Structure 1
Amino acid sequence: MAYGADKAQELFQMLIAWKPWMALVVTPLGFGIAIWMTRHFFNNAQGSGIPQVIAARHVREGEAQQALVSLKVAAGKIIVMMFGLVSGASTGREGPTVQVGAAIMYALRRFSPQREHELMLAGAAAGISAAFNTPLAGVVFAIEELSRSFEARTSGLLIGAVIAAGMTSLAVIGDYSYFGTTFVTIRFGMGWLAILAIGIVGGIAGGLFGRVVIMASDGFPGFAGRLMKQHPVPTAVICGLLVALCGLSGSGSIFGTGYDEARAIIHGDVADLTFGPLKLLATTFSAISGIPGGIFAPSLAIGAGLGSDMSLLFPYVPIGALALLGMVAYLTGVVQAPLTSFVIVFEMTDDNGLVLPLMAAALVAQLTSKLILPEGLYHALARKYLEAQKT
């Protein structure tokens, strides 16, 4: 998935480097085709896939579980996600690996039919672990976000799946740090004002993003909302056009996962002031469209961009530190899983100098986000899949 996603982005970047205006054609058309494919051939493959896994773990009927995490859905997730990236969507591959991992492990339930829920949990954890090369984050994500509790009987299976995923990743890609190793620190005193400020900004931005996506899932009020529900393909085309406009406004850096841009900011490059806001808009339109694709990587890029912008207020704090704080704060604001957000960013950079600041930013962001978004995005969307399976 990682190789395919990277190549898909490279193809799109080659296209817009040749003719930038092609984004105005390819992106809307690609979004429309992606939604058509999803609705006609791969139902329940839309979005990141994490809400589907959460919902599948809460239903008891095998048919309902199969509809959410079958191998067919997983195959569709991979195919259409890459199609979205080759069209310039502001999405990521990390979230979809959760649904794909859960689907693969669920397919093995015949060997242990009484442990199907545990198998899905283990597969999802393995997906996150392999996607970010962060084994501890995979375990924490499974406990905090997917399970919301720790079950002793699940621990062995969970850790075993994460180890297997990690060894496979090492064999295929080698040992690597997702964003490269960093070492930046924040001094006590005025530097901690930056933590508070970024935590608040990230919590607000993440909460607003989640609120808008949930509203779109419910259906916006009024005539426009009814049109969007009744005509998903034209809606996706319009969203694709808006993403293209955002991308062209940002000189092409807004398209795709945002990995390269986030990595550059972490290592000291100052991003354009518009990068964070434009990336946020493009990711919002991509999510509203319903095309398969995750929000983890774009969220990290948005957070890095917002952190870079905060350097105007806190010039004495290293850009890399502000970016990492922004990543944790924004991701926490969206998913409201502060421990997962902290561990993912910490493991991706292996920066021991920011352990306490990252924790503090995550806590502030969660408290702020809850004022706007009462429940984390994934669990709010999971309820809708549960309701759909009951009807």
Structure 2
Amino acid sequence: MPDPERPNPPLWRWTPARYRALLRTQGPGSVQFRTRIAVLTGAIAVGIVAILFAQLADAAGEMFEHMAAARWWLPLVLTPPAFMALAWVTRRFFPFARGSGIPQVIAARDDPDAATRTLISVRTVVAKAALTIGAVLTGASVGREGPTVQLAAAVMGVSHRIMRVPLRAPVVIAGGAAGVAAAFNTPLAGLLFAIEELASAYEQRVTLLVLSAIVIAGMVAQSVMGDYVYFGVIGAQLPIGAALVIAPIAGVAGGLAGGAFARLVLAIATGTNRVAAWSRRRPVAFAGMCGAVVAVLGVATGLTWGTGYSAARAMIVGVDAPAWFGPAKFVATLATAVAGIPGGIFAPSLAVGAGVGNLLREIFPGQSASAIVILGMVGYFAGVVRAPLTAVIILSETTASRGLMLPMFATAFVADAASQWVCREKLYLGLARTFMPSAPPPDR
């Protein structure tokens, strides 16, 4: 029996051997420590890169708008051949830079280290940024958020290569989500986007480092740009009785329209129909036709160029907009998305959703115009990307309309169901298959 008067021996003694073992496993030279440094420094770099890319894209958009306002005919001459040139350069030299950038990050999860040489390589993302700026300069209906996701994943790859640690799938997801958080100044939306879209499963384990990457990138972006709200502080609300009627209608309308967009994009990108077959045989000519559609719509309306941010914000604050804006922006965004040029669909989808909400305003003239437009945006965005939680949080954070949360949730879940009536496969997952040579055929 132990002697009660004798003190118990210590459970842990700091011997030199144990100290050396601790340094090997958790010290500055350990893989664990270097992994943490790689993620944290990568997250800081993501915030800086996202802001620089956003400023360049916004400046390019303003430059094009000034050119189009000074010479209305210029887009008719410039945009179609520019689309052809962008498509040719992308297919010939940078095939992994085409499209949004989010499908590439989804595809990169399977083999992250190999993806740093292809899907999220420095060469690919530098070309992606430059070609996206080129698309914005020529009036394409593109956003910068999807490319930012691919840029952010590549930045994480570089930080891990510098620290000589392996790049793993959760960190790729964290990098992409940090890109969303920094692009919109919406950290919660970045987290939910990682769970809903990039991870493709709610069971995906989100570690402390993943959360840290999202928060740090968002803080860096906020420290540079200030505590801004993307669309401005709107604070829209609806009475509960009106919300019970409007939310399901906005969900069905937005979900059907968003599902139609996703189905059309997938039909051309992965389908076997005549249009898809011809676009693959003559990709440059097809891109020129898409550019002609964008140019004609832009010249005719003056509103369908670029991200559509200005038009969307005007509708959110209650400015009357033409009823044709939503359908026209839908066609311009579809033509840009299937042209095979780099560029995202996040911001243009929000603009199309604002157009859907603008149409619904005519049905409910006595209710808050801002609230109806926001519900239209939630419904259409959820219908396109099939990520209802992300749709709600991204609109609540970009408009500061937290009083509209419950109607937004109802709209988003109805839209998600309605979208599946039109297109069973998720858009980004279907596009990601085009970057997976051994993937099974998509399920329609």
**TM-score tier (shorter):** over 0.9
The correspondence of residues 180-329 of structure 1 with structure 2, limited to 5 A, is 180-219=232-271, 221-222=273-274, 224-250=275-301, 252-329=302-379
How many angstroms apart in 2 are the aligned matches of 1:218 and 1:183? Answer: 41
How many angstroms apart in 1 are the aligned matches of 2:403 and 2:207? Answer: 30
Deviation at 1:293, TM superposition (A): 0.6
How many angstroms apart in 2 are the aligned matches of 1:388 and 1:213? Answer: 21
1:135 aligns with 2:224: no
What is aligned with 1:68? 119
Structure 1 residue runs without a partner (length 5+) = none
1:26 aligns with 2:78: yes
How many angstroms apart in 2 are the aligned matches of 1:113 and 1:305? Answer: 47
The correspondence of residues 3-42 of structure 1 with structure 2, limited to 5 A, is 3-42=55-94
Deviation at 1:331, TM superposition (A): 0.7
Deviation at 1:255, TM superposition (A): 0.4
Deviation at 1:164, TM superposition (A): 2.1
Counterpart of 1:275, as a letter, is F
The correspondence of residues 79-158 of structure 1 with structure 2, limited to 5 A, is 79-110=130-161, 111=163, 113-147=165-199, 148-152=201-205, 154-158=206-210
How many angstroms apart in 1 are the aligned matches of 2:242 and 2:191? Answer: 35
Deviation at 1:336, TM superposition (A): 0.7
TM-score normalised by length of structure 1: 0.95
CA shift digits 1:334-383 (9 cap, x unpaired): 11110111111111112121010000000110010001111210011112
What is aligned with 1:375? 425
CA shift in 2, pair 1:116/1:190, >3 Å: closer
Report SS of the residue matched to 1:69.
coil
How many angstroms apart in 2 are the aligned matches of 1:389 and 1:36? Answer: 26
Report SS of the residue matched to 2:230.
coil
CA shift in 2, pair 1:389/1:43, >3 Å: farther
Retained in 1: the 8 A contact 2:102–2:146? Answer: yes
CA shift in 2, pair 1:151/1:219, >3 Å: closer
How many angstroms apart in 1 are the aligned matches of 2:223 and 2:214? Answer: 14
Retained in 2: the 8 A contact 1:106–1:116? Answer: no
Report SS of the residue matched to 2:177.
helix
Counterpart of 1:277, as a letter, is P
1:338 aligns with 2:391: no
Report SS of the residue matched to 1:331.
helix
1:355 aligns with 2:405: yes
How many angstroms apart in 2 are the aligned matches of 1:129 and 1:190? Answer: 32
Rg larger in 1 or in 2? 2
Q: Calculate the aligned-residue CA RMSD, in Å.
A: 1.6
Q: How many residues align?
A: 386
TM-score normalised by length of structure 2: 0.84
CA shift digits 1:164-206 (9 cap, x unpaired): 2122212321210001111221112244222111111100100
How many angstroms apart in 1 are the aligned matches of 2:70 and 2:332? Answer: 22
Greater CA deviation, 115-124 or 194-203? 115-124
Retained in 2: the 8 A contact 1:59–1:386? Answer: no
Retained in 2: the 8 A contact 1:262–1:300? Answer: yes
CA shift digits 1:38-96 (9 cap, x unpaired): 11222211111001100110236x43552111111111110000100000000100111
Deviation at 1:114, TM superposition (A): 4.1
Percent of aligned pairs sharing the same letter: 43
How many angstroms apart in 1 are the aligned matches of 2:378 and 2:94? Answer: 32
How many angstroms apart in 1 are the aligned matches of 2:373 and 2:116? Answer: 39
